[in-house]
Amino acid sequence: MKVLRQLLVLIAAAFAAEAVTAQSYPSKPVRLVVGFPAGGPADIFGRTFAQALSSGLSQPVIVENKSGVGGVLGIDMVAKASPDGYMLGFNNQGSVAMAPYALTKMPFNPNKDLALITTVVKVPEVVVVNPSLPVNSLAELIAYAKANPGRSTSAPRERAASRTSPASCSRPRRASTCSMFPTRAQRPR
C-alpha cells in the first residue's frame, strides 16, 4: 500500500510539473514572413491577415518582408525555421507550386518542408491588351493571334514566368507562338 501511495504521489507530481511548464500558444510574438517587398499586394494582404491573426491570438504578429526569386527566399526562411509555430509564411502559390518546375534548383522541398494551413485570399488574374488592338474578348484575341502569327507578345510579371511561358506558348494547341520580352525590371543591367 505504501508503494502504491508513493507511486500515485509521484504520478501526481509529474502531472503538476508538466502543467506548470506547459505554456499556451502563443506565449511570444509570431513572425509572418511575406515573400515580397513591402507596399505590394502580398504585403498589404499579409499585413491585413497579421492584424486579424494578432487579434485572434492576443499576441503581436510581426510582418517581415523577405523578397526574392518570386517569393522563394521568404518561404525558404520559413521552411528552415524551428517547427514551433512562431514563424509562418504568407506567399502566393508561385513559390511552392510553380517554382520547383521553373527553377533548376530549389532550396527546399515544398512537399516535405512545408504544411499548407489555409488559403487566405484568392486574387483573380486578368488578361489585358493595348486598347488599339482590335479585340474585345479572349476569343477575339485568340482569333487575332491565329491570323497574325509571330506578332503576339507577352510580358511576364516575374522571372519564373518567363522561364515557363515560352514553352507553353509554343505548344501546338496554342493559338500561336509567343515571343517573350523582358519587362523593365528584368532587363540585364
pLDDT at 80: 96
Report the amino acid identity of residue 77: M
Q: Which fold has domain 1-123?
A: D-Maltodextrin-Binding Protein; domain 2 (3.40.190)
Average pLDDT of the residues of the chain: 76
In the predicted structure, residue 147 carries a pLDDT above the cut 80: yes
Task: Give 3-state DSSP helix, strand, coil % of the chain, rounded to 5.
Answer: 45, 10, 45
Question: What pLDDT, in 10s, does the model give residues 51-71?
Answer: 999 999 999 999 999 999 999
CA 144 to CA 175: how far, in whole Å?
9
Q: Tell me: the pLDDT tens digits for 74-131?
A: 999 999 999 999 999 998 888 888 898 889 999 999 999 999 888 888 878 788 888 9
Q: Domain coordinates of the chain in residue numbers?
A: 1-123, 138-186
